[in-house]
Amino acid sequence: MPLVTYVPQENGDPIHTTCCGLKFSASEPVEVPNDAMVLQLIVEKKLHEPSGDIRSKAVEKNVPIIEILKKNPYFRVEGAPEPPKKQAGRPRTPQTADEYKGFAMAWFARTENHTALAQRWEAEASLREKLGVHDDGEIVSYLRPFFDARHFELRKAAA
C-alpha cells in the first residue's frame, strides 16, 4: 500500500482534510490501498458517423484514489513523481472606476493595521487618478465612510 501525505500549500489551508473518503493530517503519511476506488465523471468522445461531428458524454467510472491523488498538488504519493505545483493567482488590478469601488472595499476588509490601511490609500492615489476616481468624486465619497470606519476600528484595536 502506498503512503500518501497531505501537504498544505498556503497559509490558511486546514491542518486536517478529507479527500475521497480518507482523512489526512498535514505531513502525516496515510496508507491508501491500491484497490481503493472512487466514482468520477469521465468524458468520453466519439465520432458521430452520419454527421462527422465529435460528440462527448460524461460517464461515471471507478478510478483508483491513488491516481487522483497523484495529480493533486496538495498530496505526495510515495514513489510517484511530484504533482504539478499549484499556480499562484495574480492580484487583479481594477480597470474601471466602478471596479475600483469593489477592489477598495475588499482590501479595506482584509487590512489588519490602521497604518497599513492609510499607507495603501496614499499609495493608490496614482491608480485612482488613472481610473478617473477623483478625491472630490462620487466613488471616493462612497468609499470614504467605509475607509474611515475601518481605520477607526483598527486604530482602536491597536490601542
- The full set of domain ranges for the chain reads 3-77, 97-158
Query: What is the per-residue pLDDT for 124?
Result: 93
Confidence band (pLDDT; 50, 70, 90) for 91? low
Query: What is the per-residue pLDDT for 77?
Result: 93
> Is 117:154 a contact under the CB 8 Å cutoff?
yes
3-state class (DSSP) for residue 155:
helix
Sign of torsion over alpha carbons 106, 110, 112, 116: negative
| More confident of the two residues 52 and 14 | 14
| More confident of the two residues 31 and 83 | 31
Q: To the nearest 10°, the Cα dihedral for 33, 38, 41, 42?
A: 20
Burial of residue 107 (number of CB atoms within 10 Å: 0-12, 13-18, 19+)? middle
Tens digits of residue pLDDT in 33-69? 989 999 999 999 988 888 888 888 899 999 999 999 9
- Strand 3-6 relative to strand 75-77: parallel, antiparallel, unpaired? antiparallel
